Amino acid sequence: MIKTARNAPVPITGEDSWPVIPDRVDDLRIPRSLVTDLILRYLWLHGAGTLATLNTALKLSFPVLEILFHHFRQQQLLEVKGMLGNDYSFTLTGAGRALAMSRNEVCQYAGPAPVSIQQYHQVVKAQAAHVKLSRESLRRAFHDLVLPNGLLDALGPSLIGHQSLFLYGGTGNGKTSIAERILRIYDDTVVVPYAVEVDGHIITLFDPVVHRLAPGGDEMLDPRWVVCERPCITVGGELSASMLELQLDDSTRVFISPCQMKANNGILIIDDFGRQMLSPRELLNRWIVPLDRRIDYLTLASGMKFQVPFELLVVFSTNLNPHDLADEAFLRRIQTKVLVEDVSAEVFDQIFQRVVEAQQAPCEPDCAQYLRERCLAAGSKHLRACYPLDIYRLVKAISEYEGKPVWLTCANIDRAVGLYFAKRAAVASD
């Protein structure tokens, strides 16, 4: 890699614009003192190490580790104990342990080396999603859902532009199912750093729960980055203001990245929008600038603010009226609002048939029509996409309880519908 100034753009090569292995300490683009602290803390915690173990744990390349190894020996911070094949086995000297203990009091992080915030910016922007979609390709992505052409045609333009999306409509009509399947439109991979460095502080980013490793890899890729599928994060009623900000672990003095930063280059679904611990107004005020400019601002414990990319598709899913949740200024920044309407009788029957086929459940004739009639008679004003599967699950539970094989009959549907829909309780008057 070409050596550059601290704040200059970091060179990235390769057809996928992935960062290559750094050969020199300066090519890491993070403070040298931070790198030496990582090695000191690792050796202090583990007692001894080799270049191979440091490479595995800290994700530093062998050329960089060899440079630092000789530097530590010159400073008499390391003591070589022997050789393991062609590798050195070493431990800290007394002076090395004393220095490691003092650095451990400042920060206890001893994981993969971070990348600079400048390089993170550049890579995330280079990995912005670009997809080509048609009604046919979108239908393949949603192959396991029954969606009318009009709904697909409303979704397509927003997904092509990778703009934020508002899905609204009655409960149980498939908004969450649609949102969760949007990830299928992407057939590429991205790289995600284990951690990011800002002003000498470490922010952890890679989350194995969120970031799914992709098969294969690139031998020339900087090991501080991981090849992953595009992430998809769903947050619901638990969403709070603190989840949108950096969280400082007081015991390790390491920052944990917020959910929108982890979702960069992917999708963040705000499910049941309007029912969070965080009020809609607070959330909308927090994100009105990021949604418009694709840049977010986070704050360190010192009060220092810095920019991070906001390169993600935010999907708001709600069964409330969008105009009751947000003002025009915010709705303007969500340029696509898609109504997921109540299902027609034809679509309802198709969903029912898919459930029967998927579950391989025996079924009496005309059960789909009977279920429609029973749902409406039970008090439902509209047919919902969720009814066929929900009722099947209740029929299955009833059959298992009675020790009988699962069979969709009118009688079993009656029992399931009776359990599914709440009855108006009679209230005794005084």
Instruction: Point out which residues pair with 244 in neighbouring strands.
Output: none
Provide the token pair at 354: 């898919």
Residue with tokens 């630092």: 68
Q: H/E/C letters for each residue in the chain?
A: CCCCCCCCCCCCECCCCECECCCCHHHHCCCHHHHHHHHHHHHHHHCCEEHHHHHHHHCCCHHHHHHHHHHHHHCCCEEEEEEECCEEEEEECHHHHHHHHHHHHHCCCCCCCCEEHHHHHHHHHHCCCCCCCCHHHHHHHCCCCCCCHHHHHHHHHHHHHCCCEEEECCCCCCHHHHHHHHHHHCCCEEEEECEEEECCEEEECCCCCCCCECCCCCCCECCCEEEEECCEEEECCCCCHHHHCCEEECCCCEEECCHHHHCCCCEEEECCCCCCCCCHHHHHHHHHHHHHHCEEEEECCCCCEEEEECCCEEEEEECCCHHHHCCHHHHHHCCEEEECCCCCHHHHHHHHHHHHHHHCCCECCCHHHHHHHHHHHCCCCCCCCCHHHHHHHHHHHHHHHHCCCCCECHHHHHHHHHHHCCCCCCCCCC
Tell me, rounded to whole angstroms, the distance of Cα 420 from its chain centroid: 33
Tally Cβ neighbours within 10 Å of residue 251: 7
For 125-339, CATH gives: 3.40.50.300
Is 70 exceeded by the pLDDT of residue 44? yes
Q: What is the pLDDT of residue 424?
A: 63
CATH class given for the domain over 345-420: mainly alpha
pTM of the model: 0.86
More confidently predicted of 412 and 2: 412
Q: What is the pLDDT of residue 331?
A: 78
User: In the predicted model, what is the mean pLDDT of residues 372-378?
Assistant: 93
Instruction: Quick: pLDDT tens for 216-244.
Output: 777 899 999 999 999 999 998 888 999 99
Please, how many CA atoms are within 13 Å of residue 261, restricted to the half-sphere of its CB?
27
Instruction: Quick: pLDDT tens for 59-110.
Output: 999 999 999 999 999 999 999 999 888 899 999 999 999 999 999 999 999 9
Q: What is the pLDDT of residue 324?
A: 81
CATH number for 31-111 (one of 3.40.50.620, 3.40.50.300, 3.40.309.10, 1.10.10.10): it is 1.10.10.10
Q: What is the pLDDT of residue 425?
A: 55
Q: What is the pLDDT of residue 430?
A: 46
Please, how many CA atoms are within 13 Å of residue 366, restricted to the half-sphere of its CB?
5
Provide the token pair at 35: 């790198």
Is 50 exceeded by the pLDDT of residue 9? no
Provide the token pair at 252: 């390790």
Please, how many CA atoms are within 13 Å of residue 211, restricted to the half-sphere of its CB?
23
Question: Which among 390, 159, 276, 293 has a CA at the least distance from the CA of 167?
Answer: 159
Is 80 exceeded by the pLDDT of residue 12? no
Is 90 exceeded by the pLDDT of residue 260? yes
Instruction: Quick: pLDDT tens for 140-192.
Output: 999 999 999 999 999 998 888 777 899 999 888 999 999 999 999 998 999 99
Question: Is residue 123 a contact partner of residue 263, using CB atoms and an 8 Å limit?
Answer: no
Is 70 exceeded by the pLDDT of residue 42? yes
Question: Which among 322, 389, 401, 383 has a CA at the least distance from the CA of 361?
Answer: 389
Asked if the domains 125-339 and 345-420 are classified in one and the same CATH topology, the answer is no
Domain ranges of the chain: 31-111, 125-339, 345-420
